[in-house]
């Protein structure tokens, strides 16, 4: 099977829309591989911090990105053989990822790595530019979004449910800033391409959203 004939389901959308959870569950149901492309930008931000490279320094970031050893194994993310799964999920790295992601050289440095995830029997790829740039020939493209206030509330409830404190106004402001940085940047902005199906999860459960994507995929297989 040539790489180009391996089906890709591209799920793009803004932060905290639930696309990571939905994508993983869809991949599980179909027995497909899963690519969390956001994790790659988070890793670049973390590695830059560790090496004292500014998130604004495109050339240094590009050089660094090509030398990183990144692995996804048994649910953990490894950077240069160390587990960084927790470290990359911090709010600081969420911001860092969206800052390093504006640079075209950084995006180019991660391009081949992202494509290497396309393996039989198929791939569910989650990010901002999966359907528009990295897997333009994806068989199914979903633009998964939700109202920003609802996304902020979902983020707010995560620490609260673990008895940790959280600041709703700050979370909302961070999300709005990342939304505008992701959709207004020149390099691969977050957009809904004309061939992508809109899935608004503002008032849908995760289970519902997963069903929606699986139905859309089954419909494509019937064509
Ligand atoms: O999806 P996640 O929230 O982990 O992504 C973190 C950041 O990485 C996003 O805010 C975005 O700026 C960047 N990103 C990107 N292109 C992707 C995936 C993520 O620019 N395909």
* Distance in Å, CA 137 to ligand 1 centroid: 20
158 confidence band (pLDDT: 50, 70, 90): confident
pLDDT at 169 over 80: yes
Q: pLDDT tier at 160 (50, 70, 90 boundaries)? A: confident
Is 41 near ligand 1, meaning CB less than 6 Å away? yes
Q: Is the CB of 13 under 6 A from ligand 1?
A: no
Q: Which atom of ligand 1 is nearest to the CA of 20?
A: 1
Q: What's the whole-model pTM score?
A: 0.94
SS3 of the chain: CCHHHCCEEEEECCCCCCHHHHHHHHHHHHCCEEEEHHHHHHHHHHHHHHHCCCCCCHHHHHHHHCCCCEEEECCEEEECCEECCCHHHCHHHHHHHHHHCCCHHHHHHHHHHHHCCCCCCCEEEEECCHHHHHCCCCCEEEEEECCHHHHHHHHHHHHHHCCCCCCHHHHHHHHHHHHHHHHHCCCCCCCCCCCCEEEECCCCCHHHHHHHHHHHHHHHHHC
Residue 124 β-bridge partners:
9, 34
Phi and psi torsions of 119, nearest 5°:
-130, 155
- Please tell me the residue having the least CA distance from ligand 1 atom 6: 38
CA of 178 to the centre of ligand 1 (A): 9
Q: Which atom of ligand 1 is nearest to the CA of 134?
A: 21
Q: Is the peptide bond before 15 cis (omega within 30 degrees of 0)?
A: no
Mean pLDDT, the chain, as a whole number? 94
Residue nearest (by alpha carbon) to ligand 1 atom 2? 38
Q: Decide if pLDDT at 63 tops 70.
A: yes
Among 89, 133, 92, residue whose Cα is nearest residue 110: 133
What domains lie within the chain, and their CATH numbers?
3-218 (3.40.50.300)
**CB-CB contact of 165 with 157 (8 Å):** no
Mutation choice for ligand 1 from 43, 95, 128, 184, CB with most ligand atoms inside 8 A: 128
Q: 135 in ligand 1 pocket by Cβ < 6 Å?
A: no
* pLDDT band with cut points at 50, 70 and 90 for residue 1: low
Q: 17 CB less than 6 Å from ligand 1?
A: no
């Amino acid at each position: 099977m040539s790489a180009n004939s391996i089906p890709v389901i591209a799920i793009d959308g803004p932060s905290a829309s639930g696309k990571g959870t939905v994508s993983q569950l869809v991949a599980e149901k179909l027995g497909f591989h899963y690519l969390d492309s956001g994790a790659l930008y988070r890793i670049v931000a973390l590695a830059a911090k560790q090496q004292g490279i500014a998130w604004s320094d495109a050339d240094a970031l590009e050089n660094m990105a090509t030398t990183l050893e990144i692995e996804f194994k048994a649910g953990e993310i490894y950077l240069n053989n160390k587990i960084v799964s927790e470290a990359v999920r911090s709010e600081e790295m969420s911001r860092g990822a969206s800052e390093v992601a504006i640079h075209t050289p950084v995006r180019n440095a991660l391009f081949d790595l992202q494509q290497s995830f396309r393996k039989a029997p198929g791939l569910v790829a989650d990010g901002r530019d999966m359907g528009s740039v990295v897997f333009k020939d994806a068989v199914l493209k979903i633009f998964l979004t939700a109202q920003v206030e609802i996304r902020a509330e979902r983020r707010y409830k995560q620490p609260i449910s673990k008895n940790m404190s959280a600041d709703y106004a700050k979370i909302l402001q961070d999300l709005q800033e990342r939304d505008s940085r992701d959709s207004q940047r020149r390099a691969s902005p977050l957009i809904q391409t004309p061939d992508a199906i809109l899935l608004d999860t503002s008032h849908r459960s995760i289970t519902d959203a997963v069903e929606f994507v699986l139905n859309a995929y089954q419909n494509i297989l019937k064509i």
